[in-house]
Amino acid sequence: MAKRYLVLEDGSTYEGTAFGAEDTGVGELVFNTGMTGYQESITDQSYNGEILMFTYPLIGNYGITFDDNESVTPTTAGVVVHEVARLASNWRNQMSLDEFLKQHHIPGISGLDTRAITKKIRAHGTMKSVLVNSIADAEAILAQGMKPAPKDLVLKSTTKNGYPNPNTGKRIVVVDFGLKHSILRELAKRNCNVVVMPATATAAQILNYKPDGVLLSNGPGDPKDVQGAATMIRTVERTVPLFGICLGHQLFALANGADTFKMKFGHRGFNHPVREIATNRIDFTAQNHGYAVAADSVANTDLLVTHEEINDQTIEGLRHKKYPAFSVQFHPDAAPGPHDASHLFDEFLESITSYQREPVRLSALAVSSDGHP
C-alpha cells in the first residue's frame, strides 16, 4: 500500500498509509472528538481549508450515505485517521469512505497515532500542515514555508445564487456563509418557507423578500474576514427577528460591537456541555469552530450573554437587549450530535410570532438581567 506523510509546520513528520485521493492536502490541522458523524463532518463547509483529524480510532465503518451530506461539494483539505475501515456494515451504505474521498479529490492518511497528535495540538495550538506522497515533497514544502489560511473561505463556501426551499409556513431568509443542510432540514420540519441567499447579500436584497425572520448560518474561517456582513446584520436586526448559528453568532457579535479571537485549538465534537445562564439548563451540543467571542468585549454593548461552555467558560450564546435577535455558538441542528438544543429553532419561530403581534414593543425591547424579556 502506498505511503503518505503528514507534515506539520514545526517540522514534525508522520508516516502513514494513503487512502482517498492522490492530491496534496494543505490546511490547518484540527481534531474532532466525535465517535460517529465522520461523513457529516467531512461535508461540513466549516472545515473548508482544514485537514480534519479524528480522535476516534476507527473511521469509515458504516460507509457513506448521500442523505447524510451537509453540503454537495465538500471542501475539507484532508482526512487523518488511526484506522480506516476496510468494510462498511450498514444497510444505508452506498459507497466506502475511500471511494467518497477519491470522488471529491480529498486525500486521506491512516495508521497514525491520532490521539498523540491531538495532545500535541492541544499543547501547542492549531498548526498549518500538509498531506504529501513523498518525503521529498515534505522537505520542499518545509523549506518554502507554509502559507497562512486564505481569507476568502466564506466566498468559496457560499452559494453563488439564491435558491428556495419552499413550504407553507414562516418565510425565512437563510444567509449562507457555509450552510449545513441540517439547518434546512430543521426549518423544513417546522414548515418554514425558506430562501437561501449568498453571503454577499445586502440588507436591501434580503429584506426585499419580505422575510418573517433571518437566519445567519455557520461557515469557515475568521469572522473578521467576512466583508459587509456587519452592515447587513445591523440593518436586518432592527427590522425582523434574527438568529445566528456558529459563524453567524460571531458575525452577530462583531456587528454589535463585541470582538472575536482565535482559540488555541477550538471546539470540534458532539459532546460539549453548554449552560443556559438564566435557567441553569445544561445541553450537550455539537460544535465546530476555531474562533470565539471575547468575553471582556461584551460589557459595553447591547448584547447579553445567555449561554456559556462549562469546560472553558467561553461564550456560547448572545441576545440583543433591544431587538428580537439572538445567536448561539453551537449547532442546534445537531447533525451529527445530541438533539438537546433543537428547541432553539422553535424559540426563533416563537420570537417571530411575538414580534408580529407587538412589533413596536419588541423593537424597543429591554431585556432583564436573567436574559429573558
The letter for the amino acid at 250 is: Q
**Alpha carbon separation from 243 to 122, 174, 218, 264 (Å, rounded):** 31, 9, 11, 27
Binding residues for L-glutamine: 46, 219, 221, 247, 250, 288, 290-291
**Alpha carbon separation from 29 to 133, 266, 372 (Å, rounded):** 17, 11, 39
- 272, 289 contact by CB (below 8 A): no
Binding residues: 46, 219, 221, 247, 250, 288, 290-291
Angle at 223 between CA 244 and CA 106, to 5 degrees: 100
Catalytic (active site) residue 246 = yes
Distance CA 178, CA 290 (A): 15
Catalytic (active site) residue 333 = yes
- 85, 58 contact by CB (below 8 A): yes
Angle at 23 between CA 18 and CA 25, to 5 degrees: 85
What does the DSSP assignment read for 217-274?
A: ---SS-GGG-TTHHHHHHHHTTTS-EEEETHHHHHHHHHTT--EEEEEEEEEEEEEEE
SS3 state at 340: coil
Angle at 217 between CA 215 and CA 222, to 5 degrees: 135
SS3 state at 305: strand
Name the catalytic one among 289, 307, 320, 331: 331
Name the catalytic one among 246, 283, 289, 340: 246
Sign of the Cα torsion 143, 148, 154, 155 reads negative
Question: What is the DSSP secondary structure assignment for residue 147, as one 8-state letter?
Answer: P
Q: What are the catalytic residues?
A: 246, 331, 333
